[in-house]
Amino acid sequence: MIRLPSIDGLIPQYRNDRDSYARGRRLRSCFAAYANRLAPVLVERLGKAEAAAVTDEARREFDTLIPTIPFIGGRSNPLTWNLETSAMFLALYRALNRHDIGPAEAGALFERMIDRWLGSFPGVLLRLAGLWRFTPWYLRSIRRRAEWSHQRRYPADFLYDFVPSGARFDWGVDYTECAIVKYYGAQGATELVPYLCPIDFQMSRAFGLGLRRERTIASGDGVCDFRFRRGAPTIQPGSVPVARAWAHAGDDAMHEGSD
């Protein structure tokens, strides 16, 4: 799961994450921004009236989801943003599904939304942000965070290991537990997860991360094997694999988020 450097305007800022009112207000603001980026895509697909209805339904759906988003460390855990964003996608997907749009098409719509978001930033800024991920300071940081994940302070969190450089990559990460898979499992929405995984490749292309990933937890492989190489092309598999036995992986680990 790709996490970007905290550059103002690219990544939401976290304040008082254990205060439910402050957290809810921040998340609703972020969701409104996502919905605005998706709106033109929805209008093309559904027309103005139905697109507005989907957006309104998704907003109400997200309000019900906010209390269920597990707390995995707030701003002390950079992957909080990934989990919270997945809840926004889930709210949008549930609204779309009521209008006969399934997970594959919803995933394609989300990819177009991400393209619009990335296109709103200068390419040079994105590339500079990507270069940060290859600095010694960043690598030390992610190594420490990987070690910290093994403390398992939050059952709903990600679990991962840092992978030093190899013959074909500069560094990597092996995720063996995915907070998004757990959360979607608890929410009964596992069918969507494989269609969110390709977003990582979009981010890699925009930020110049040279991502190669051959396995994912969402496809039943037991690991997401991220490998990054500076200046290399992003290598993306040609199709989305069908999710398998992990469908209820989150049921035992999940608990309602406490703020």
CA–CA gap between residue 227 and residue 166 (Å, rounded): 9
What pLDDT, on the 0 to 100 scale, is given for residue 166?
Answer: 85
Amino acid type, 62: F
Maximum separation of any 2 CA atoms in the chain, in Å: 53
- pTM (predicted TM-score): 0.84
Model pLDDT for residues 69-79, shown as the tens digit of each residue? 999 999 899 99
Instruction: Locate 168 and state its tokens.
Output: 């074909």
What pLDDT, on the 0 to 100 scale, is given for residue 34?
Answer: 86
CA–CA gap between residue 71 and residue 20 (Å, rounded): 11
What pLDDT, on the 0 to 100 scale, is given for residue 100?
Answer: 96
C-beta pairs of 98-103 under 8 Å, 24+ apart in sequence: 98/54, 98/57, 99/46, 99/50, 99/53, 99/54, 101/45, 103/191, 103/192, 103/194, 103/195
What pLDDT, on the 0 to 100 scale, is given for residue 19?
Answer: 64
What pLDDT, on the 0 to 100 scale, is given for residue 2?
Answer: 54
What pLDDT, on the 0 to 100 scale, is given for residue 237?
Answer: 80
Residue with tokens 């989300």: 110
What pLDDT, on the 0 to 100 scale, is given for residue 223?
Answer: 97
Domain range annotation of the chain: 20-248
Sign of the C-alpha dihedral computed for residues 227, 229, 235 and 240 taken in this order? positive
Model pLDDT for residues 169-181, shown as the tens digit of each residue? 999 999 999 999 9
- Give every residue of the chain whose pLDDT is below 70, as ranges: 1-19, 238-259
What pLDDT, on the 0 to 100 scale, is given for residue 236?
Answer: 87
CA–CA gap between residue 259 and residue 252 (Å, rounded): 20
Query: Which runs of E-coded beta strand occur in 5-154?
Result: none
CA distances in angstroms from 84 to 44, 49, 184, 221, listed in the order given:
27, 28, 12, 24
